């Protein structure tokens, strides 16, 4: 595992991350999205990000830690956007401030602010790049990757976010956590090099709309499969025939059902992860370009960059083959 030099306060925060990481939901997906996104960056930006790839990877789950482990009330709405409850698209507010003026706090808390929050994060990241603020660049980039990952989970864009409206409870964590945990080793998570988004606002809403287009198909596929499968084959049952609960008090799906659902989804999880990787890298790159393409080479010592050079070449080769997360990377 690469030894990455960090400022003391980054090291301290990294320790906090490691202490809470197992409480994070869906960290398997979020960590891989951020790590692969580093490999999709153009060279001018990639070298700096690669010097801190361990931090960028580990911090990917921190927004969930703030939400679930630390109970930050303002954190929850940043992760979702219940599109159906906001009315026609042409009535959506353009900015988060406009949204706060149009809707009351409870409505936004219940229905989410994800697209507007991503746009605000992009403005902050662009400012951090302009100021060459090393710590801010790293924190904001890693957090932004998390929210972009959420923006590629179909049920994060739907009022039926856990199938609760259609008797499909548990589908959310099954899709975004259990399926990646079971099958991510088979995914080829390499994407084309990051692109520049000339219109950040449009890019965000295009992303949200594309993701939302998969929400109903996902629910329909699960509904059809559950209806055709005996309950004791959908959920694990104990010796008394009672459905086994997870530590989050949700019904525990069988590996058999998860495998069937994954097959019926026909690559949806892998494809959404790849889109999230491409988008994360592209939003990072766009913020850097909009900041004037500042030279970040002086933010790390030449010795750190030199020490990581060979690791970068090896990881690039693995990434280009779609094998960044192969056996040799399991402990990264």
CATH number of the CATH domain containing 115? 1.10.575.10
* pTM (predicted TM-score): 0.90
Residue 1: band (very low, low, confident or very high) from pLDDT cuts 50, 70, 90: very low
pLDDT at 204: 98
pLDDT tens digit sequence for 92-124: 999 999 999 999 999 999 999 999 999 999 999
Domain count, the chain: 1
Q: Give, rounded to a whole angstrom, the gap between the first and last alpha carbons of the chain.
A: 6
Average pLDDT, the chain: 91
Examine residue 106 and state whether it is found in any structural domain, yes or no. Answer: yes
pLDDT tens digit sequence for 290-329: 999 999 999 999 999 999 999 999 999 999 999 999 744 3
Examine residue 297 and state whether it is found in any structural domain, yes or no. Answer: no
Examine residue 298 and state whether it is found in any structural domain, yes or no. Answer: no
Domain of residue 26, residue span: 8-291+303-326
Among the listed residues 149, 136, 159, the one whose alpha carbon sits nearest the alpha carbon of residue 215: 159
DSSP string, 247-274: TTSSBPBPHHHHHHHHHHTTTHHHHHHH
pLDDT at 26: 63
Q: In degrees, to the nearest 5, what angle opens at C-alpha 327 toward C-alphas 324 and 332?
A: 65
Q: Tokens 């739907």 appear where?
A: 158
Q: In degrees, to the nearest 5, what angle opens at C-alpha 78 toward C-alphas 74 and 81?
A: 130
Examine residue 332 and state whether it is found in any structural domain, yes or no. Answer: no
pLDDT over 90 at 330, yes or no: no
Examine residue 296 and state whether it is found in any structural domain, yes or no. Answer: no
Examine residue 1 and state whether it is found in any structural domain, yes or no. Answer: no
pLDDT tens digit sequence for 161-219: 999 999 999 999 999 999 999 999 999 999 999 999 999 999 999 999 999 999 999 99
């Amino acid at each position: 595992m690469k030894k990455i030099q960090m400022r003391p306060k980054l090291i301290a925060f990294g320790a906090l991350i490691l202490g809470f990481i197992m409480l994070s939901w869906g960290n398997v997906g979020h960590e891989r999205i951020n790590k692969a996104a580093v490999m999709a960056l153009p060279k001018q930006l990639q070298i700096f990000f690669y010097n801190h790839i361990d931090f960028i990877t580990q911090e990917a789950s921190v927004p969930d830690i703030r939400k679930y482990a630390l109970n930050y009330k303002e954190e929850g709405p940043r992760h979702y956007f219940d599109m159906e409850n906001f009315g026609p698209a042409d009535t959506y507010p353009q900015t988060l401030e406009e949204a706060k003026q149009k809707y009351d706090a409870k409505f936004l808390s219940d229905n989410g602010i994800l697209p507007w929050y991503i746009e605000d994060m992009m403005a902050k990241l662009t400012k951090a790049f302009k100021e060459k603020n090393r710590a801010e660049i790293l924190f904001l980039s890693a957090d932004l990757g998390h929210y972009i990952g959420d923006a590629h989970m179909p049920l994060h864009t739907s009022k039926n976010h856990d199938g609760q409206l259609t008797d499909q409870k548990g589908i959310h964590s099954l899709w975004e956590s259990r399926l990646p945990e079971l099958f991510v080793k088979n995914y080829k998570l390499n994407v084309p090099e990051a692109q520049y988004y000339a219109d950040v606002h449009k890019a965000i809403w295009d992303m949200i709309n594309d993701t939302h287009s998969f929400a109903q198909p996902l629910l329909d596929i699960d509904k059809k499969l559950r209806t055709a499968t005996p309950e004791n084959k959908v959920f694990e049952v104990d010796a008394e025939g009672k459905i086994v609960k997870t530590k989050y008090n949700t019904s525990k799906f069988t590996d058999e059902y998860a495998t069937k659902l994954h097959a019926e989804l026909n690559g949806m999880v892998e494809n959404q992860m790849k889109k999230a990787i491409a988008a994360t890298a592209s939003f990072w790159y766009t913020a850097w370009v909009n900041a004037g393409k500042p030279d970040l080479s002086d933010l790390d010592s030449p010795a750190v960059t030199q020490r990581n050079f060979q690791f970068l070449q090896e990881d690039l080769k693995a990434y280009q083959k779609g094998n960044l997360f192969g056996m040799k990377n399991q402990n990264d």
